[in-house]
Amino acid sequence: DKGNHRHFMAKEIHEQPEVVSHTLTSFIDMVGETIRLPEDLPFDWKDLNRLTISACGTASFASMIAKYWFERYARLPVEVDIASEFRYREAPLDKGGLSIFVSQSGETADTLAALRYCKEQGQHTLAVVNVPTSTIAREAEVMVRTLAGPEIGVASTKAFTCQLAALAGLAIGAGKARGTLSAAEESELVHALIEAPRLMAEALRLEHEIETFSRDLAKASDVLYLGRGTSYPLSLEGALKLKEISYIHAEGYAAGELKHGPIALIDETMPVVVIAPFDAIFEKTVSNMQEVAARGGRIILITDAKGAEAAAMATLKTIVLPEMPAVVTPIVYSVPIQLLAYHTAVIIGTDVDQPRNLAKSVTVE
Ligand code: M6R
């Protein structure tokens, strides 16, 4: 049932404040503002030297964002791998280490094969899954659920933001358990996470404005997405979302990589979506954006009020989100990224929920 929406994807984008809130309440103690990690874990966070995360597609971008969180909050080195590469690489793994698998369906063949490989290598295994009866959920030692509810649209939206919520919780919980976060820092981060659903609802209110920017994207044959820090994997996700449903060629890049190649692509016909909350690395991203502007690139900047003011340039179109703590920016900035892709595809007239050549669950390799 699509409710009042034209497509499942639109419905699922709009459900996000609610389902992210469900997911958060499943592991947050709202009164104490602490993270409740899964009980009876077969490993101790303090004993871990590194983490390995495997996933495919959108789930791999959620995993890349989680890398920033586990490294920052739990001071754990993280290796994120695309499951189809990991499964054949014969990666050396420490016995008793922890491998995490992220999957909406829990049936993705490559992610399942990566899980089985890790088990054979004596790894502890933890799966972040949306379908609790799935094969990956059953075969992993520990299951952490995302409570996105059934996701029908082939392009993942609400499963992605729920994966981010769950992974943020795990990283903060791991940081607390390892003593790399104080109780005060934990409660500050948890407090920020609790605000995410409200901030997502505010972002959804910008839909009409975002739709007008989509008209610009719909005319393009190529689109570049740029970001730094956690906005870098989000730029990969933005590009994937656009190409999946609108069939427009899109690339995500770490903004700092621009001058190492992709800047050659920039001309007046090339829209560039820049994801840049006003944070510690904002200035760096803005200087990359100026390089784009100097070559006539058409920029859509997704930022907050401070960022919009600091970046002010004539050529710019801006989507201005509320200011928010860094830990929630990937969750909230997903909303305009998804809406841009969705409205672009609707304008072009592609089959948004069932894009050509794609299956919801990739059970063959
Ligand atoms: O079910 P999974 O999360 O394991 O699926 C992984 C990918 O196949 C999936 O995220 C795919 O990239 C989506 N179509 C992205 O929108």
The ipTM, to two decimals, is 0.99
* pTM of the full structure: 0.97
Q: Is the pLDDT of residue 56 over 70?
A: yes
Whose alpha carbon is nearest atom 10 of ligand 1? 58
pLDDT digits (tens, 9 = 90+) for 102-130: 999 999 999 999 999 999 999 999 999 99
Annotated active-site residue 284? The verdict is: no
Rounded to an integer, the average pLDDT of 255-282 is 93
Q: How far is the CA of 290 from the centre of ligand 1 (A)?
A: 34
Q: How far is the CA of 125 from the centre of ligand 1 (A)?
A: 20
Measured between alpha carbons, how far is 307 from 297 in angstroms, rounded to an integer?
A: 19
Q: Which of 82, 84, 105 to mutate to test the pocket of ligand 1 (most atoms within 8 A of CB)?
A: 105
Strand stretches in the chain, DSSP E? 28-29, 34-35, 51-55, 78-82, 98-103, 124-129, 142-145, 222-227, 249-254, 271-275, 298-304, 317-321
| pLDDT for 359 | 87
Beta strand 249-254 with 222-227 is parallel
Q: Give the atom of ligand 1 at the shortest distance from the alpha carbon of 105.
A: 1
Q: Which of 53, 56, 103 to mutate to test the pocket of ligand 1 (most atoms within 8 A of CB)?
A: 56
Which residues' Cβ are closer than 6 Å to ligand 1? 56-59, 103-105, 108, 111, 154-156, 244, 358, 361-362
Tell me how crowded residue 210 is: count the other CB atoms within 10 A of its CB: 22
The token duo for 32 is: 């104490």
Q: Is the pLDDT of residue 234 over 80?
A: yes
Q: Is the pLDDT of residue 313 over 80?
A: no
Cβ–Cβ < 8 Å for 158, 13: yes
Rounded to an integer, the average pLDDT of 160-180 is 98
Q: Give the atom of ligand 1 at the shortest distance from the alpha carbon of 163.
A: 3
Cβ–Cβ < 8 Å for 286, 258: no
| pLDDT for 365 | 86
| pLDDT for 315 | 64
Q: Which of 53, 80, 154, 156 to mutate to test the pocket of ligand 1 (most atoms within 8 A of CB)?
A: 156
